[in-house]
Amino acid sequence: MPTEKVDQQKSVAAAFGKQSHHFETDDSSNLVLQEWRKRIYSHVNQFIKPKSRILELNAGTGIDATYFARLGHTIHATDISNGMIAKLKEKASVFSGNISVQQVSFDQLDNVGGKFDYVFSNFGGLNCIEDLREVTRHLPGLLNEGAFVTWVIMPRISPWEWTWALKGKFAEAFRRLRKQGADAHLEGEYFYTYYHSVDKIERSFGLDFQLLKSEGLGIFSPPPAAQNFVRRFLGLTNFLTRFDRVLSKISPFSRWGDHVIVTVLFRKKPY
């Protein structure tokens, strides 16, 4: 593996390892994240079949794995970070049989065995990799025919961030458009974040996958990081959130936002 990639993955694993200790407290106290998780679940629940076998990428502490296990699905939860894996193992011991855990990077899914009905990746884990094809190339071998893949990823167009330009913060406002990735600083660790357009995500899957739905999160409403804005302007936040919910399903807004929810169907073409 090239040194830059090893360094990127080491820094990412270290940063999220440190974050794992307070990840769930931060998550449960953030109103925007709570609302978005509900929207993501209602998106997935349109497609997922009862008792599905789910492969979860960058599963973090297992918030979503727990949600899906409670619905009767079986989850193989994977992540790169030691700290996150320790939290996942605690969850797996409670939901014995429904959650299994494996420490693996999502570009090394050839180390994962079995066949799955659904692949799920939430909240930007896949923004830690530059080329999504390093992940998608493993999927056909892991999926049952008719399987779904839902990824929640940070896209390149985020109108909320453009408003930073009004405050003179041009570099931050347009950081998502940088081809070579933007610098990320988390828990004292430095790594790159790569923003992926829905077109690029769709292309990365190739011909055996069909885009079913894309939905924007945080198009004009504040993102999870804007907690001060949310506290000060709760009425306006609620209005913008309702406005977003309507727009989020209409193109091009369905492809914009702080994050997008993208679902594709795996249907192997007869060649």
Ligand X SMILES: C[S@@+](CC[C@H](N)C(=O)[O-])C[C@H]1O[C@@H](n2cnc3c(N)ncnc32)[C@H](O)[C@@H]1O
Residues that bind ligand X (CB under 6 A): 9, 12, 16, 58-60, 63-64, 79-81, 84, 105-106, 122-125, 128-129
E strand or H helix at 211, and its extent? strand 209-217
Q: How far is the CB of 190 from ligand X (least distance, A)?
A: 14
Pick the closer one to ligand X by CB: 58 or 247: 58
Work out how close the CB of 267 gets to ligand X at its nearest, in angstroms, rounded to a whole number: 26
Q: Residue 216 or residue 224: which is nearer to ligand X going by CB? A: 224
Residue 60 or 257 having the CB closest to ligand X:
60
Taking the complex as a whole, the smallest distance from the CB of residue 269 to ligand X amounts, in Å, to: 29
Residue nearest to ligand X (CB): 60
- Side-by-side strand order, sheet with 53-57: 99-103, 74-79, 53-57, 116-121, 143-153, 259-266, 209-217
Provide the 3-class DSSP secondary structure of residue 230. helix
Count of CB atoms within 10 A of residue 255's CB? 21
Output the smallest distance, CB 218 to ligand X, in A: 14
Count other Cβ atoms within 10 Å, centred on residue 20. Answer: 21
Nearer to ligand X, 121 or 247 (CB): 121
Segment (H or E) for 192: strand 189-193
We find the least distance from the C-beta atom of residue 232 to ligand X, in angstroms, to be 25
What distance in Å separates the CA atoms of residue 116 and residue 136, rounded to the nearest whole number?
A: 14
Q: How far is the CB of 111 from ligand X (least distance, A)?
A: 11
41 versus 47: smaller Cβ distance to ligand X: 41
Side chain identity, residue 228:
N
Q: Toward ligand X, which CB reaches closer, 6 or 234?
A: 6
Distance CA 56, CA 116 (A): 10
DSSP state string for 34-84: HHHHHHHHHHHHTTPPTT-EEEEES-TTSHHHHHHHHTT-EEEEEES-HHH
